[in-house]
């Protein structure tokens, strides 16, 4: 019926228990010193929506339990797997050791577009995407450890998007790539 909202039952959502057992998109999102608790909560919620493998929370990025994070996560912090690292470089080293291809989402001279990165990626290799601080971006030391950079082309006057919006765009795109 056009214009009628779906009920919760119509959406066939997983229970938290079923979510934990369900197959995940082999994608880790690394938050490098993301300062806003609301942005972190939004990333949790989006990771739940696209059934992403997990998050790596680094540096000043807050961790659950956190009331401000919960305001935007709406419980996704209880379903999405996460690990905290004091130093983002430690998270990157661990992910490389586990066989991940790691891309920073950053404005860089040698950056690929999201479409280029997705089209050339081998689905047999898991991916980690690093998103940085709302003002300073991904730390230079972290960029040096990544396998490449991905840039989202923009056509307005601003040079960047909100980190949680960027996370949503890249998670959606990669989730679709792995589900093809």
Of 4-8, 21-25, 62-66, 159-163, highest mean pLDDT: 62-66
pLDDT tens string 37-91: 999 999 999 999 999 999 999 999 999 999 999 999 999 999 999 999 999 999 9
Side-chain-facing half-sphere of 8: CA atoms under 13 Å: 2
Report CA torsion sign: 52, 41, 46, 32. Answer: negative
Structure tokens at 122: 């081998």
Of residues 88, 111, 95, the one with CA closest to residue 159? 111
pTM for the model stands at 0.95
**105, 126 Cβ separation under 8 angstroms:** no
Could you give the count of Cα atoms lying within 13 Å of 112 in the half-sphere of its Cβ? Answer: 14
Domains of the chain with CATH codes:
21-179 (3.40.1280.10)
Q: Give CA–CA dist 100/13, Å, rounded.
A: 29
3-state percent breakdown (helix, strand, coil) of the chain, nearest 5: 40, 20, 40
């Amino acid at each position: 019926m056009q214009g009628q909202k779906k009920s919760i039952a119509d959406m066939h959502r997983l229970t938290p228990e079923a979510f934990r057992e369900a197959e995940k998109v082999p994608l880790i999102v690394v938050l490098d010193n993301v300062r806003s608790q609301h942005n972190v909560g939004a990333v949790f919620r989006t990771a739940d929506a696209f059934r992403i493998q997990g998050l790596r929370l680094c540096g000043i990025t807050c961790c659950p339990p956190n009331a401000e994070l919960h305001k935007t996560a709406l419980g996704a912090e209880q379903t999405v797997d996460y690990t905290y690292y004091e130093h983002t470089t430690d998270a990157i080293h661990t992910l490389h050791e586990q066989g991940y291809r790691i891309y920073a989402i950053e404005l860089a001279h040698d950056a690929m577009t999201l479409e280029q990165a997705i089209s050339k990626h081998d689905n047999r290799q898991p991916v980690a995407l690093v998103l940085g601080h709302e003002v300073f971006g991904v730390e230079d030391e972290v960029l040096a450890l990544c396998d490449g950079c991905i840039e989202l082309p923009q056509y307005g006057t601003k040079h960047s998007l909100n980190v949680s919006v960027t996370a949503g765009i890249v998670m959606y795109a990669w989730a679709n790539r792995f589900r093809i």
